[in-house]
Structure 1
């Protein structure tokens, strides 16, 4: 039920308003009345009101002054003005104050009812929106904490404090991380995986920093994890028919401090989908063991390729590929499928090694058609040419880590003037580059989209400034380029896990 406050210097008007409507039928309750603006303001400081209905012309404090002062208490207060004067100047001032309606006395009850119904609709939408935002904020906080935990970026004390605040129970003996991917409707898969995890109590759902949906599971014993995941796969297939779904899992580990190990294995296991595209469940331990046995039987020395990649030796890598595959082709019992598997595994090793060197998830090395191209090669030369092409791309990726001059200038501008209004559109005009191309170039060279990089840099700068007790939070927001406080708070929570105000308090504790 929403609360209404009435103000008018005529007692019979107040009494008439009370009796004119069945307020409860609108889910409204009159919580107070006053006969002048000053009295109304004093009462509003002590009670909550969603709707203020006020006269304009009153002694002590008029209606317009009351609205201004009351809005400093309740920013979202909805106001209806009553007046016996059809004065355009009053109406204009009221409109500037964001009133819902300006009703002339004697009051038209149909118009009053319609205005109230409109306000109620807005209030209902606001509550629903607040609930949606709350759920979104909780999800952002949860993802932040879980990602920091799995990446070893948070100490046990802070982890337990944050987990308790979010209602996350980490006091479990066994932990296993599962990650899910789909072929087409990835967002649908993420939402469904999270829904099932919460509904069936499978563990803590989260989205990692690469956008992959996951669940931190807590099996009762080490053998239970695979059974849970297979049941989860069946549920996902039922909910998303036609979707190619795969889940990768790390090993079951003991204790929260080992959770990151299981997550790292699950991430690596997902890479094996490149070699085994038909597998729905990718278990890191079994896949890694298979790879080790394949290494021995196929006699490819992956460490040699790792050294050549790190040394950026393209020509020597090409020669090594030609030499190894010519030898494999002559080996007893060799088949085309085994040669193709060797090529795919070498490509996967290059991808994993490149990611380890650059400390990032390298996605450009393997495209969606890479496996098809290797499997469809009609000759040994055509297949090795594809492998050499990918090896060269890997080396070039390391060589080109030095930023292009344009990207270097843009990064310098962000670092020196992050408070300015910066966008790909304005920067593309400045450097005479198409904004789409500039965005792709920026992401290729930094690993982040322009907006992601800019927001992260601004938040890091804000964290530094929050250590200065002389600066207010709203001042700091503007100093780093945020003019909308709501957006600043949302971005800060997303990257840091707490609000700017909470972070400032922690620094000053």
Structure 2
């Protein structure tokens, strides 16, 4: 049932309204009444309704002001105005607020019931339409992701604005910055207003707006790009925010929308190099050459500056690296991930409260890859490194000479069959006592520290070489590759092969 609120400063009218209509028979329920507009607004905020029937002339706050304020909260609320005044000015204002009906007092029971039935029918139709639109968007998303075929669109073909057998199609993605509090602006209206080809607009999907267009057979990619340049200009004017548009390939069948969408998705990463307020297609980036770089020297400098705790020079150096115009999107992500792993290594060596333990490292990398602009990536990294330096400043630890020597031995000979017993013999110390001292000073057992070192070294080889995973396992001292996989995943939250995939992103 739909919910109703009655508002009138005359209690007899409120009581009469409750009795003259058989509310439940027409699918309605009166859940609250109010004798003034101020109380009505407070009640609505606590418990919203679908329909408000209100007197127009009330003390302090009028019925028209009540409508204005409730419409500001929810523009879908339906209103019926009751009035003892047959004045055009009242009716004109009511029309401005899209009031459903204007009924003169004394109230005609049949007229009111007829108005209510009409509203109920309208809301039922709106509900069905909304459900159909949601189903349409869901199916379109499934289709462009290749999860359903063309037959899956047959049930909603009557509400799709693009034909299923057109000659040309594109899928494009529009990414927005902050919208400057203009959420009430309808993006679909702006896009459709500039559309000379048919289109579907899917809003708020994966943080972007997806536009699916159909085109005439003679339309070229140049025509498509001119169209989206116009869309970009209009969106910039209306929304006052940064915009990036990735235009997918122009395909010759609706069955190839998945291919077009894949291209549009890949183009999003070029916001890192081309900046915001760009509109790109695959041809625009085809001349950008792959720039393979290991960044080993840069990571050495960053490692040195972190160890020296030189925050000022570290920030300047990070800024210098990211100001390099020759970096490709892959370079930026590659360098960024290596910086995070460098920070992880130092965090481990300095025993800094497990900053990047287990899933935390994976989550940090995911957060990093979700940053969409070069400046945002740079800011993210500087923030992470500042936190690392802060932890280093408050957690500087001095180890006893023998423990320092054992740590050095592990770092240099981690790939050998090291044990606490053999090291204890080497330093003429009881192995049980040495184990207790080691755990007390480092907070972890010798075996945990050894496995940690092996994993760190393995991670460096995964990121900086093309060695096979099996060979890396042997290089760091694991004879059983499956055992290495288990230990590595337990330590980093991702298996070695997944880490290599992230590196090659």
Structure-2-length-normalised TM-score: 0.41
Q: Based on CA coordinates, which of the two structures has the bigger radius of gyration? A: 2
Structure-1-length-normalised TM-score: 0.40
